[in-house]
Amino acid sequence: MNIFFFKITILIYFVGTVFYLFYFSSKKDSFSKFALGVTAAGFLFHTIALLLRTVESGHLPLSNLPEMLSFFSWAMILTYLVLEVRYRIHILGSFILPLAFLFLASAAAFPHEIRTLQPDLNSSWFGIHTTLSVLGGVAFTIAFVAGLMYLIQERLLKSKRFSILYYKLPSLDLLDQLNQWAISAGFPLLTLGILAGAIWASDVWGSYWVWDPQRIFTLITWLFYLGMIHGRLTIGWRARKAAYLAIIGFMGVVFTFFLVNILAKGPHRFI
């Protein structure tokens, strides 16, 4: 049953993406209202799909790559809806929804059978570790989107081109704040996720840390964001530089979360 809701959600997110892209390139504000309504409906279906899958599998739907991608996409939409209510930056949806759709559509490319967790992995640390890590990743995605929007608005302001986007994109200051907020939220989430993973690993394998590719790249990503926060606080890595760093960091997140998962072997290889 969860597959049915999952497929409906993909379809709805696609429609939402189309509306948001129309909004991105046209003058009609009504497109964003349609898009928001569609997104909210999609989020409802997505939530039902995840709940059904949790009930059917008996554990959080984070045990393999498609589940991770789906949960990642769901958390992105949830964060977007919260930001939309708080800041009313409609154009944010034109960036977030295509990404969320892409993640969910990628999940559809993998087999969808429910995997039973190995008994030694089935602990409460599993939920804590994966949820915190995914939420950290989502926060870094928001920072990436804010960075991207910052660079576009900055270019428009520098080149003195007052296109539709100039009017739709918020102020540079707000985008820089959003970037900072997202990194500040994402970093502790990822840190706690790593710590929970280490405790879990110690429980299961008797060792806090194993040098597998996923852990190595996670550590690199973590150090990158640590450096970014340090640079912002002490050297003044803000505005344009912070926007670039958020984009580079996101590449690291995608690589660490998903690509290493596909390419490397180890305990984090889900597929």
Residues in contact with other proteins by CB under 8 A are 27, 153, 157-158, 160, 162, 166-167, 170-174, 235-241
Token pair, residue 82, equals 């919260």
**CA–CA separation, 199 vs 209, rounded Å?**
9
Instruction: Supply the minimum distance, in Å, between the C-beta of residue 230 and other proteins.
Output: 13
**CA–CA separation, 74 vs 109, rounded Å?**
17
Sequence-distant (≥ 6) Cβ neighbours of residue 215 within 8 angstroms: 209, 266, 268
Contact yes or no for 186/136 (Cβ under 8 A): yes
116 or 171: CB nearest other proteins? 171
- Number of neighbours of residue 191 by Cβ within 10 angstroms: 15
CA distances from 47 to 5, 138, 203 (A): 9, 16, 31
Instruction: Supply the minimum distance, in Å, between the C-beta of residue 154 and other proteins.
Output: 8
115 or 155: CB nearest other proteins? 155
Instruction: Supply the minimum distance, in Å, between the C-beta of residue 145 and other proteins.
Output: 18
The single-letter code of the amino acid at 161 is R
Which residue, among 42, 43, 53, 46, has the nearest Cα to 1 in the 3D structure? 53
Instruction: Supply the minimum distance, in Å, between the C-beta of residue 156 and other proteins.
Output: 9
105 or 174: CB nearest other proteins? 174
Token pair, residue 211, equals 């040098």
Instruction: Supply the minimum distance, in Å, between the C-beta of residue 186 and other proteins.
Output: 21
244 or 270: CB nearest other proteins? 244
Instruction: Supply the minimum distance, in Å, between the C-beta of residue 98 and other proteins.
Output: 24
CA distances from 42 to 11, 91, 141, 184, 218 (A): 8, 18, 20, 28, 31
108 or 174: CB nearest other proteins? 174
164 or 263: CB nearest other proteins? 164
240 or 269: CB nearest other proteins? 240
Contact yes or no for 128/198 (Cβ under 8 A): no
Which residue, among 186, 192, 225, 217, has the nearest Cα to 75 in the 3D structure? 186
Instruction: Supply the minimum distance, in Å, between the C-beta of residue 238 and other proteins.
Output: 5
